[in-house]
Amino acid sequence: MSKTRKNYPAKFKAQVALAALREDAPITELSSRYGVHATVIHRWKKEALAALEAGFAGKLESRADAHNAEVRDLHAKIGQLTVERDFLADGLRPVAVRGRQEMVDPSNDNIGIAAQCRLLGISRSGWYYERRGESADNLALMRLIDAQFLQTPFYGSRQMARHLRRQGYEVGRTRVRRLMRLMGIEAVYQRPRTSMPHPGHRIYPYRLKGLTITRPNHVWCADITYIPVKRGFLYLVAIMDWASRKVLAWRLSNTMETRFCVEALEEAIARYGPPEIFNTDQGSQFTADAWTGVLKENGIAISMDGKGRWMDNVFIERLWRSLKYECVYLNAFESGLQARRDIGRWLAFYNAQRPHSVFDGQTPDDVYDERNFVSPASGLPPPPNGSGGRALHPEKQNHRQAA
């Protein structure tokens, strides 16, 4: 017996989409709260963002109505084969199954849902299937995995499963591997490829080899981490200045998309000006055109960790370790609102009050402001504290404590 498809009123869709756009709660919690499948909430969120953009561009669209009418007439004559080819040309095929399911557009009048599923290589029944959120047991395991990963970041799924079994949890490697992928974490060790980029995105060269980094806004870096909350999890991105370890901007999101990373990047550039170089790993958020486009528009050289550069993320990894032990795990966030509030307070404390041994007890704000200051008499910035006026290149800086 076929399952009747649910039809939701527009007002209800707008309410759920607005809740998702606020990003105060995980998608799983919103799914439970409103009784709507997580994939549907993802789609409504994207449709709401697209509708907002279209609304602001309304004047331009009205001027082009006559031209668009002609274009539509021409497109109607192209035929179904050309429409399907253009649909595939959007680069959707390399995306994971869940991502491809989210890209199905039921409002597309040219290609039906069955045809879209066939072209994307997924089953139509799989698209309609309503997945359950992660169980309480899995959320508890994710919390344990996250805590252990901070202690032993070199643990892969096999060692992590062994660790959990020693703690009395009957789990297999497959389950642990799935949860680690969901959390966006993987073992940190030297190997040819430590991050899998999007197959359709360009990879940029690594620019920090042999480079001395002594001043703020010379090199910035960014990374994403998992933040557990009561009914699910959120993702946190931070933009950090390499020389001072100052967190320049951050964002929380209930989906691991490029948009919230770009928002943090744009805020950091607006507040502090563009750096000379921006270094990241090869994650799909940092190879996306939306991210690299902002860097190019601001004249920023793009650098990406490559072969043999597994240590370059160590500064921001230490930030995550401090944040989770000093804030996240002590507070056990009940909601996204609490997470945003408490993380914001801790990051403000980290920048302005938390001393760093590598800077002889100075805070990131102190170092950032001091090294940005140029003496009127000499026209040169003062030598960096803790290094005797000698610059350190990334390989040597990585071996100094940043606690």
- State the DSSP string of 366-379: HHHHHHH---TTTS
- Which of 90-94, 226-230, 280-284 has the lowest average pLDDT? 90-94
For residue 23, pLDDT over 80 is answered with yes
Contacts of 112 (CB under 8 A, 6+ apart): none
Nearest to 216, CA basis, from 250, 249, 248, 242: 242
Residue 348: CB atoms within 10 Å? 13
Residue 300: band (very low, low, confident or very high) from pLDDT cuts 50, 70, 90: very high
The backbone torsions φ and ψ at residue 225, rounded to the nearest 5 degrees and listed phi first, read: -135, 165
Strand 219-229 relative to strand 247-253: parallel, antiparallel, unpaired? unpaired
3-class SS of residue 232: strand
- Which has the higher per-residue pLDDT, 357 or 289? 289
Per-residue confidence (pLDDT) for residue 378, from 0 to 100: 38
Average pLDDT, the chain: 79
Residues pairing with 279 in the sheet:
221, 303
For residue 350, pLDDT over 80 is answered with yes
Cβ 318 vs Cβ 402: under 8 Å: yes
Nearest to 245, CA basis, from 161, 373, 160, 347: 347
Per-residue confidence (pLDDT) for residue 205, from 0 to 100: 87
For residue 266, pLDDT over 90 is answered with yes
Helices assigned H by DSSP within 152-252:
157-166, 173-183
Nearest to 93, CA basis, from 202, 200, 203, 178: 200
d(CA 375, CA 378): 6
Q: What is the pLDDT of residues 319-336, one digit of tens each?
A: 998 998 889 888 888 888
Sheet holding 247-253, edge to edge: 247-253, 232-241, 219-229, 277-280, 301-304
Give the global pTM. Answer: 0.61
Residue 75: band (very low, low, confident or very high) from pLDDT cuts 50, 70, 90: low
Amino acid in the structure at residue 355 = P
Per-residue confidence (pLDDT) for residue 137, from 0 to 100: 86
What DSSP assignment string belongs to 36-57?
--HHHHHHHHHHHHHHHHHHHT
- Which of 41-45, 103-107, 310-314 has the lowest average pLDDT? 310-314
Cβ 284 vs Cβ 201: under 8 Å: yes
Angle at 228 between CA 227 and CA 232, to 5 degrees: 120
For residue 115, pLDDT over 80 is answered with yes
Q: What is the pLDDT of residues 48-68, one digit of tens each?
A: 888 877 777 665 455 566 667
Residue 72 is encoded by which pair of tokens? 């539509």
- Which has the higher per-residue pLDDT, 74 or 21? 21
For residue 125, pLDDT over 70 is answered with yes
pLDDT (average), residues 146-166: 84
For domain 219-397, the question of CATH label 3.90.1150.10 is answered with no
Q: Radius of gyration of the chain from Cα atoms?
A: 24
For residue 240, pLDDT over 90 is answered with yes
For residue 217, pLDDT over 80 is answered with yes
